[in-house]
Amino acid sequence: MLLGVLDHLPLALARAVLAALRGRLSALCWGLTPLVLPLLSWRRRSGPDTPAAPRENKDETVPTPTSVNYHFTRQCNYKCGFCFHTAKTSFVLPLEEAKRGLAMLKEAGMEKINFSGGEPFLQDRGEFVGQLVQFCKEELKLPSVSIVSNGSLIRERWFKKYGEYLDILAISCDSFNEEVNVLIGRGQGRKNHVENLHKLRQWCRDYAVAFKINSVINRFNVEEDMNEQIKALNPVRWKVFQCLIIEGENSGEDALREADKFVISDEDFEQFLERHKDISCLVPESNQKMRDSYLILDEYMRFLNCRNGRKEPSKSILDVGVEAAVKFSGFDEKMFLKRGGKLVYLCIEPNS
């Protein structure tokens, strides 16, 4: 029953509060966080129910890395045509170095971590991400620990071992038509992406992990009506992203993908949203929001600045510290707050 409440409450609450009291947003977010977090972190284990107190930021130009998306690998077993975090390197930090960086981020004010890729379950058959998830929950006691995955490599034994440390699992699904998935590049021979999604949904129920769906709306799925399938899966959140062009990743000479044929107009995106307006857990993400309001850390633990339409890396936090690196992240803290990121802790960048 509590999950049913979670389906609706945080977003509705966030929207109402943001609209009514925008001018006092920052103070208000912190004031309400203790009310909202216990609902989202309903499976409390060893960690506290409330986040650490907000850190004083002496230099207002340095954003606090409250919520971080750590793309620790670029390797993936899928070949989505619009992918904007492609396999340009095969580098993955040693586990202990990754933990050191995560501890530094916690020290700098991180409360939410999302692990993404590439495909996070590819590295060491899911052991690497499992160890990181356990570390962040058990040692760092972060209020929110999540993973974005394409779901194809997750097995039940992973949930048995690490499920208790994971708050949210977001699975990428762009279509409920397998032929469209193959056209997009989310296909693996005889494996059926949609069947797999239902299996993962059940495991999330069994192991008390909140289940989310991320969809990238593009030329091949923009006409699709997903109402029934999304309602049947009943995710706590359905994030709907507009296909995004990033120079050097999915467009341009040095890119590994050519995503131009996937791009849709703002009007097309709006029509898709209109068709699914009855789904209360839907959260739309336009291109502008995606560019400015995500704090992205790459495989070297460098912040990526996407503001100029390509990913420009900072120095690694492991070399220069979090504060020096985050200055170059291009992260717009106001945009992050505007879309309720701090309040509801459910912002997730769409790859993998």
Does 117 help bind ligand SF4 (rule: CB under 6 A)?
Answer: yes
Catalytic hit among 83, 136, 173, 306: 83
Identify residues 196-255 at the interface with ligand SF4 (CB under 6 A).
Answer: none
CA atoms of 250 and 12, how far apart (whole Å): 35
Using CB under 6 A, pick the residue from 17, 40, 80, 210 that binds ligand SF4.
Answer: 80
Q: Kindly tell me which residue out of 29, 76, 98, 142 binds ligand SF4, with binding defined by CB under 6 A.
A: 76
**Sheet with 168-172: strands ordered across:** 282-285, 237-242, 210-217, 168-172, 144-149, 112-116, 67-71, 296-297, 302-305, 312-316
Q: Which is nearer to ligand SF4, 74 or 137 (CB)?
A: 74
β 112-116/237-242 pair status = unpaired
Nearest residue (CB) to ligand SF4, 172 versus 242: 172
Stretch that binds ligand SF4, among 43-51, 114-122, 205-213, 279-287 (CB under 6 A): 114-122
- For residue 214, count other CB atoms closer than 10 A to its CB: 26
Closest approach of Cβ 93 to ligand SF4, in Å?
A: 18
352 binding ligand SF4? (CB under 6 A): yes
Among 64, 66, 69, 150, binds ligand SF4 (CB under 6 A): 150
CA dihedral 113, 194, 191, 119 (to 10 degrees): -10
Instruction: Reply yes or no on whether 281 is catalytic.
Output: no
Residues 292-331: x/- map of binding to ligand SF4 (CB under 6 A)?
----------------------------------------
Q: Distance (Å, rounded) from C-alpha 151 to C-alpha 54? A: 34
Q: In Å, how far are 133, 175, 187, 246, 297 from 121, measured between CA atoms?
A: 12, 21, 16, 24, 18
Q: Determine whether 304 is exposed, middle or buried from the number of CB atoms within 10 Å of its CB (0-12, 13-18, 19+).
A: buried
- Selected from 43, 79, 141, 327, the binder of ligand SF4 by CB under 6 A is 79
Q: Is 83 designated active site?
A: yes
| Residue 118 binds ligand SF4 (CB under 6 A) | yes
Q: Are 176 and 201 in contact (CB under 8 A)?
A: no
* Marked catalytic residue, from 29, 76, 136, 306: 76
Active site residue 29: no
- Quote the radius of gyration of the chain (alpha carbons, Å): 19
Piece in contact with ligand SF4 (CB under 6 A), picked from 5-13, 72-80, 93-101, 227-235:
72-80
Q: Which DSSP string do the residues of 213-279 spell out, in sequence order?
A: EEEEE-TTTTT---HHHHHHH--SEEEEEE----BTTTBSTT-S---GGG---HHHHHHHHHHTTT-
How many residues contact ligand SF4, by CB under 6 A? Answer: 13
Verify binding: residue 78, ligand SF4, rule CB under 6 A. yes
* 290 touches ligand SF4 by CB under 6 A: no
Length of the chain: 352
| In 155-210, alpha helices (H) | 156-162, 178-184, 193-206
Judged by beta carbon, residue 47 or residue 118, the one nearer ligand SF4 is 118
Distance, in Å, from the CA atom of 40 to the CA atom of 9, rounded to the nearest integer, reads: 10
CB of 83 to ligand SF4, least distance (A): 3
Q: Closest CB to ligand SF4 among 76 and 145?
A: 76
Instruction: Answer yes or no whether residue 167 interacts with ligand SF4 by CB under 6 A.
Output: no
Interface pick for ligand SF4 out of 111, 119, 249, 332 (rule CB under 6 A): 119
- Tokens standing for 63? 């954003």
Q: What is the DSSP letter of 208?
A: T
Residues that bind ligand SF4 (CB under 6 A): 76, 78-80, 83, 85, 117-119, 150, 172, 351-352
- Which residue numbers are catalytic? 76, 80, 83
